[in-house]
Amino acid sequence: MTTATDPRRTLRHRDVALIWARHNLFRSRLDALLTLVLGAIGLYLTFRFLRFVFINARWEIIGVNLKLLLVGRWPVAHLLRIAVSITVLAFWGGIFVGLIRARQVRRGFADLDLIGWQRIGDLSRRFGLLIATMLLVLALATTVGPWLVALGLFIAVLLGRMVGFKLGSVPLSTPLVRLSTLVLVITPFVVFLYLVDAVPFAEWEGFLFNVTAAGAGIILCFPLGILLALGRRSKLPLLRSLSVAYIEFVRGAPLYVLLLMANVSLEFFVPPWIAPSKPLRAVVTFTLFTAAYVAEIVRGGLQSVPHGQEEAAKALGLSPYRQITRIVLPQALRNVIPAQIGQFISLFKDTTLAGLALGILDLLTAGQAVTQQDAYRGQGLIIESLLFVAFLFWVGSFTMSRESQRLERKLGVGVR
């Protein structure tokens, strides 16, 4: 009987590692040469990068301008509203997590074997990068306020998860669940109105604009893209022609050009006193542009559903609406999850184009502007600034990608 410290088991692990390295890294003389050369270059570049980040870089430019980078020129007197809104949204998100967890437990799909430290390890793998990023931003802060907000977010998520798990155990027909559903639906709109009441949406800047524009664009473009995809497959000639014309026209135009048109050309057709603000123009442009790409992605998903599924739905006597919403569309959306998330990640990164085309002080524009301050002009700190900007966008994109992969595994995408 062997134990965890058995030398034979250690030897087996070592043999497996040697076999893997010989098969993947040193299969031939050329492979061995490339492995050694590229490995040396990679180690050198990694060393230079880490030395710059932890030794040579001057991160005080980020600490001093942290508010400008994150929320732009948001009035200090109304910063508390952002803290309250984020905390409410954290509680709101925790409720959804609790509801999903309760549904999984009720249906027997939850990982009930993950308890204690195993559960903590699973959550750390999922959200460890976000937590590390938050701690990094907090380390750059010069006041205690952000630390209190972070503590409030943690408590709000835990409480929301507990409340959501309790609600998920209550029958759906009860008045409490119906009232809770209504509250959950209107909460984001109430939070938006709460913020707009203090600072108009036209003055939202920094990373706050990037996140808001990306979130609004994703939420709005998804149903519009589905409708366009269904319209393109419609048997009605007029509806199909209009859908095809819209999709092909928008997909053929660069996003930057559309943003420039929204900035320059809109007021030739709309009186200036009723023209929307620049951030709103950006959100509308992002929505209309991404919806065309989502439509093509969903159309591909619809074509991937076997025709027999629709025929079976017809044989059961389902109406055309139920055939689409209950049988065909769920399978189509499941099949194209990777492409959809990829498009949403692209939208998140494309929000930086609004700063160039519309003159909005987004995160990238603010990162370039802080290097022109009198205290930092001509000191070559653009690398530190752009590295911080790139890091925040990478964290957001990587988190969306990892959660997409996790959803794919749970839904069994690509598994027959």
pLDDT of residue 172: 67
The model's pLDDT over 267-289, given as tens digits with 9 standing for 90+, comes to 788 777 788 889 999 999 999 99
In terms of pTM, does the model score above 0.85? yes
Average pLDDT of span 356-365:
93
* pLDDT-derived band at 1, boundaries 50, 70, 90: very low
Percent of the residues in the chain that have a pLDDT greater than 90, as a whole number: 50
Among 263-267, 294-298, 326-330, 383-387, which is the least confidently predicted range?
263-267
Report the chain's mean pLDDT, rounded to a whole number: 87
Count other C-beta atoms under 10 Å from residue 74's C-beta.
Answer: 21
244 vs 168, residue with greater confidence: 244
pLDDT of residue 385: 93
Tell me: pLDDT of 414 over 50: yes
List b or e across 305-342, with b for residues whose CB sees 16 or more CB atoms inside 10 angstroms: beeeebeebeeeebeeeebbeebbbeebbbbbbbbbbb
6 vs 92, residue with greater confidence: 92
pLDDT of residue 169: 76
364 vs 185, residue with greater confidence: 364
Contacts 24+ apart (CB under 8 A), 179-184: 184/92, 184/95, 184/96
127 vs 57, residue with greater confidence: 57
pLDDT of residue 43: 96
The model's pLDDT over 222-242, given as tens digits with 9 standing for 90+, comes to 999 999 999 999 889 999 999
Among 157-171, 191-205, 273-287, which is the least confidently predicted range?
157-171
The model's pLDDT over 56-88, given as tens digits with 9 standing for 90+, comes to 988 899 989 999 999 999 999 999 999 999 999
Q: Give the C-alpha distances (Å, rounded to integers) separating 230 from 238, 305, 314.
A: 13, 14, 18
Per-domain residue ranges of the chain: 76-199, 201-416
CATH number, domain 201-416: 1.10.3720.10
